[in-house]
Structure 1
Amino acid sequence: MGGLDWALLGCYFALLVVIGVQTSRKIKSSDDFAVAGNRIIWPVFFGSFAAAFLGGGASIGNAGATFRDGYVYMFAFSAFAVQTVLIGIFVAPRLKRYLGAHTVGDVMEHHYGRASRLVTGLLSLGLCAGILGAQALAVGTVVNATVGLPIVPSIVVGMAVVVAYSTFGGAWAVIQTDMVQFVFLGVFLPVTLLLALGDVGGPTRLVEALPEAHLSLGGTWSLAAFASLFVAFLLGEVLVPPYAQRTFSATDARAARKGFVLTGFFAAAFFFITATIGLTALVLFPGIEPDQALTTVVMKLVPAGIVGLVVAALLSVVMSTASSYLNSIAVIFVKDIYQPFVKPDLGARERLWWERALSLVVGVAATLFAISAPSIVDALLYAYAMWAPTIVIPLLAAVLFGSRSRAAALSSIGAGVVVTVLWIWLYQEQTGVDGLVVGAGANLVVFALVALFTRNRIGAGVRPAVEEA
């Protein structure tokens, strides 16, 4: 990169830190830190949610996997967009009924009791830490490929900025920086695709140069492998803590619905852009590692003076997601575990201190996880296995149908954990079917059966944690 590129990239990092420091003055309470005071209108909700939703998996991971397998991976990955639209239409508006809620644990306790809050909190922490680790790995990949630092220092440098502004400004800083990052990714990654297509010789030349399987619906995958990955992506991030938290921050149900639906359609277009960049990299630079596809195109093809902005766009995609998960981990620990089970009389100022301190500690832990993860997509799939086979079905049953069967919720979570672990250990490699899918099926069956047989005792002993409007 040239001097101008370095200056632009430096200005970008400085802007994020300044936003975090200035926003810290707005943080007067835990409500401000966790859900930005419930004052996010729908255009801001859409922009910030899209930036948080489209992380390292949607950019670097999608480009790399499409480089390796073709558009079939993008078709499977598009399950995220489908899920987001469906959640926006049917579920997100209903979450606004839970007045005062900050976390998924608030909703689960309202329907299933205190034990479900604790279990949800622990699983939420595992999920968020895993996804945060994947984003940290993606940050390191971008910095390594563009600046030339070794991968470990690259992860440390990139995550240091994320931790700084997230710790200072909480949800307010995360949402404001997400809006800046939304503009970067919405402008400069499409520009990168146009430049790459020009270097290949246009769309027609790209199609001619690619293996036929890379352009087909099924590629070289079996139907079972495609269906397994599609379902894994469909369920893997359903109402994960940062998305639920973002929903609670919206002004009303209408804002939540619009934000989710628009994000789903925007995501589908974004997936196509990053996947196609991956295919141009296959034609132009066939010998590179798949996870280097996107960054290689940027560094080799983007003109000097624009490289710094495009690198900032790549970093913005990843850092926006990382900051959202970092903020959620701090809020989850305090709201779902520490305050209800360790120190019920936790004061407002002390609670805010804990949330900020945890942002720092968890950022360090996620950095260590990223250093050991084999790839971005692998790290994501590891994390999803903690959520889809455990919390998704009881949560949807609660929000959509008002279920209050505590026995069904807890037994289905346990069944999901056991079946997922055993399948991954014994059968996943042999069958090619992801343990997440089998575990989610077991979770659904057990929940339905136990809810049916305990229907006369539903709600016994449950005490609402939040008021339902």
Structure 2
Amino acid sequence: MKVTILISYFILIIGLGIYSWLKIKEPSDYFVAGKRSGFWQISGSLLATVLGGSAILGTVNLTKDQSWAAAWYLLAASFGLWLLVPLVGKVNRLGKYTLTNLLGQFYGETARKAASIIIPLAWTGIVAAQVIASAKILFSFFNLPYEQGVLISGAVFILYTLIGGQISIIKTDFVQSFIILFGVMLTAFFLWDMPEQVPGFSSAFPFNAQFSGIDLLILVLTFSSTFVVGPDIYSRVFCARDEKTARRSVRLVASILIPFAFILAYVGVFAFSHLPGENLEGSAALIEVIGFYLPEWIAGLMAAALLSAVLSSADTTLLTSSMILSELLNPDINNLKSLKQTRYFIVLSGIISMVIALKVTSIIGTLLLALAFYSGAFLVPLVAALTNWKVNKRLSILAMVAGGIIALGGKITAAYYGSDVGNWMIVSAFVVNAGILMIPEKR
């Protein structure tokens, strides 16, 4: 049953991809779906992008240590989207194809080129996190060795993104978002009727011994911020047909994430409360609880839902970073030469992400390292640009590089040495970034 449902799902998704490929008439169709997407299309694609495999599997796995406080992971995403709402109209109005193009409008050509190198480097880690998540899905459902799962899923990502570009992504994400929501909520519904009890909510949320107020601050700075100035989020905004459509879509998705965060936390708390430890070793808790407690047809549906989550984030991230690299070679990518270059970069970036996934197997760890570097570099400069701060544009590159390196160093220190020094380094990254930008320009 699981295999049948999974094969049917892949046929549907590939069919939509091929159909979309036939609809591509010019480069803008491939890059921003012709900038014609409506409210439901943008909402579905944005939701599917946010709820990637790393977000869903990672949130559930976080409950092992953080219990109910793991809900903060998606709550932080929701918070970031709410912060984006007042800025989204300007982003849609000024943006063309990529975030780096938007950045270049404020800080100049040199800053745009620097960002076009930095962002793909960081975003390669995001794609790698999706590859890791998909390999864990294949391991848990079909007992496929992790290394084989990385190679198979990576190849699928590359081919899938290569086919239809943004038109394909928008269409398939709309379908995938419903599969994700329905599958996870159905799982929670079945578990709710189980006689087993779960640990108390009030004793573990909002904070507990494993998740403190400073942890939340770091999560907001390094994770929520990427939903305010993230290239994958902006890529959805650029596809919207107008400002109103983009703003309504961001509001809807931000609202949906709030209850969904607690649903995922509940599933995770249930899994780690009742499943044997050996069942969870090297696997994904969400998948194990599905296989242990739920009927096989739901397991098949959830296999499709989880792979949907992975695909919907990986394709958007891979295409976005490849477009940015192509734009590094040619500021105006609305031409066939840049379209060809983008496809080359999709293959290259996908392969590098697979190599990373073979070396690093922590979903959330890989994701947060990449996001820490990105947020430390770009949150302050982009917010300053969108809100018309008076800044020193000549020092923008120095601010980005310094902020990114300090934030990454802090995240590594906090993750591998368990030191509060690392957390304060992350906080200082944003202070240093802002401080450099606020240095008065010499006349």
Structure 2 distance, partners of 1:189, 1:333, is: 35
Of 68, 93, 106 in structure 2, the residue corresponding to residue 111 of structure 1 is 106
Once the two structures are TM-superposed, the CA of residue 279 in structure 1 deviates from its matched residue by: 0.5
**Counterpart selection for 2:305 from 305, 313, 332:** 313
Of the three residues 164, 171, 188, the one matched with 1:169 is 164
User: Post-superposition shift, 1:175?
Assistant: 1.0
The answer to whether the Cα contact below 8 Å between 1:24 and 1:169 also exists between their aligned partners in 2 is yes
Deviation at 1:313, TM superposition (A): 0.6
Distance change in 2, residues 1:152/1:386 (3 Å): same
Verify the 8 A CA contact 2:372 2:411 in the aligned structure 1: no
Equivalent of 1:84 in 81, 103, 127: 81
Which residue of structure 2 aligns with residue 22 of structure 1?
19
| 1:28 to 1:403, Cα distance in 2 relative to 1, 3 A | farther
Establish whether residue 289 from structure 1 lines up as the match of residue 281 from structure 2: yes
Q: 1:143 to 1:243 in 2, by over 3 A?
A: same
The AA in structure 2 aligned to 1:395 is L
From 338, 358, 362, give the equivalent of 2:329.
338
Query: Where do 5+ consecutive residues of structure 1 fail to align?
Result: 458-469
1:371 is matched with which residue? 358
CA spacing shift, 1:415–1:312, aligned 2, 3 Å: same
Report the CA distance between 1:155 and its aligned residue.
2.0
Give the deviation of 1:404 after TM superposition. 6.6
8 Å CA contact 1:388–1:436 kept in 2: the answer is no
Partner in structure 2 of residue 323 of structure 1: 315
d(CA) in 2 for partners of 1:236, 1:438: 17
Question: Given the superposition, is the C-alpha separation of residues 230 and 190 from structure 1 closer, same or farther in structure 2, using an over 3 Å criterion?
Answer: same
**161-170 vs 252-261, which deviates more?**
161-170
State the match for 2:58 in structure 1.
Answer: 61
**1:296-338 deviation line (CA, Å, top 9, x unaligned):** 0111122022321111011111210011101112211111x12
Sort the Cα spacing of 1:81 and 1:162 in 2 relative to 1 into closer, same or farther, 3 A. same
8 Å CA contact 2:395, 2:436 repeated in 1: yes
Amino acid at match of 2:208: G
AA in 1 matched with 2:228: V
3-state SS, counterpart of residue 374 of structure 2 = coil
- Percent identity over paired residues: 24
- The separation in 2 between residues aligned to 1:230 and 1:245, in whole angstroms, is 21
User: Residue 418 of structure 1: CA displacement?
Assistant: 4.2
Question: Comparing 132-141 with 218-227, which one deviates more in the overlay?
Answer: 218-227
The answer to whether the Cα contact below 8 Å between 2:107 and 2:396 also exists between their aligned partners in 1 is: yes
1:240 aligned partner: 230
Distance 2:87 2:334 in 1: 32
Distance 1:15 1:216 in 2: 40
Deviation of 1:285 (Å): 0.7
Distance 1:347 1:6, change over 3 A: closer
SS in 1 for 2:296: coil
- SS in structure 2 of the partner of residue 102 of structure 1: coil
Aligned match of 2:428: 438
Query: Are 2:268 and 2:286, in contact at CA under 8 Å, matched by a contact in 1?
Result: yes
Q: Decide whether the 8 Å contact of 1:225 with 1:433 is kept in 2.
A: no
Written as runs of structure 1 = structure 2, the 5 A alignment for 1:128-207 is 128-201=123-196, 205-207=197-199
Counterpart selection for 2:94 from 80, 93, 98 = 98
Which moved further from structure 2: 163-172 or 408-417? 408-417
Aligned position for 2:264: 274
Cα gap change, 1:290/1:84 in structure 2, threshold over 3 Å: closer, same or farther? Answer: farther
Cα shift at 1:82: 0.7
From 44, 47, 64, the equivalent of 2:44 is: 47
Instruction: Name the counterpart of 2:206.
Output: 217
Aligned partners of 1:416, 1:270: CA distance in 2, in Å?
32
1:312-368 Cα distance to aligned partner (Å, 9 max, x none): 011111210011101112211111x1224xxx8x88222211212222222222111
CA distance in 2, matches of 1:425, 1:168: 36
Range 384-393 or range 66-75, more displaced: 66-75
Range moving further from structure 2, 409-418 or 276-285 = 409-418
Per the alignment, do residues 180 and 112 of structure 1 end up closer, same or farther by CA in structure 2, a change over 3 Å counting?
same
**Counterpart secondary structure, 2:373:** coil
Secondary structure in structure 2 of the residue aligned to 1:219: coil
How many Å apart are 1:436 and its aligned residue?
Answer: 3.5
Provide closer, same or farther for how the CA distance between residues 420 and 155 of structure 1 changes in structure 2, counting only shifts above 3 A: same
Residue 126, structure 1, aligned to residue 121, structure 2: yes
**Cα distance, 1:57 vs. partner?**
3.1
1:410 to 397, 404, 411: 397
Task: State the distance in 2 between where 1:85 and 1:350 align.
Answer: 37
Query: What amino acid sits opposite 1:93 in the alignment?
Result: G
Structure 1 107/142 Cα, relative in aligned 2: closer, same or farther at 3 Å?
Answer: same
Check the 8 A contact 1:64/1:291 in 2, yes or no.
no
TM-score (norm 1): 0.87
Distance 2:408 2:231 in 1: 22
Superposed CA deviations along residues 183-222 of structure 1, whole A, max 9, x for unmatched, are: 1011111010111222344xxx3246x8x75x33211134
In structure 2, what is the Cα distance between the partners aligned to 1:155 and 1:148?
13
How big is the shift at 1:421? 4.9
* RMSD value, Cα: 2.2
Counterpart contact for 2:139–2:283, Cα < 8 Å: no
1:419/1:439 contact within 8 Å kept: yes
Partner SS for 1:199: coil
Flag the 1:422–1:379 CA change in 2: closer, same or farther, 3 A.
closer
CA-CA distance at 1:224 after TM superposition: 2.5
Indicate conservation of the 8 Å contact 2:57/2:285, yes or no.
yes
Would the aligned equivalents of 1:200 and 1:283 in 2 still touch at CA under 8 Å?
no
Distance (whole Å) between structure 2 residues aligned to residue 422 and residue 254 of structure 1: 39
User: Residues 307 and 219 (structure 1 numbering): CA distance in 2 closer, same or farther, change over 3 Å?
Assistant: same
Question: What is the match of residue 12 of structure 1?
Answer: 9
Deviation per CA, 1:242-282, whole angstroms, max 9, x where unpaired? 11111111011101111111111111222211111001101
In 2, the alpha carbon distance for the partners of 1:229 and 1:125 equals 22
Once residues 301 and 269 of structure 1 are traced to their aligned partners in structure 2, the CA distance between those partners, rounded to angstroms, is: 23
SS of equivalent to 1:40: coil
Change (3 A) 1:404 1:33: farther
CA distance in 2, matches of 1:390, 1:22: 39
1:391 counterpart SS class: helix
Of 362-371 and 142-151, more deviation after overlay is shown by 362-371
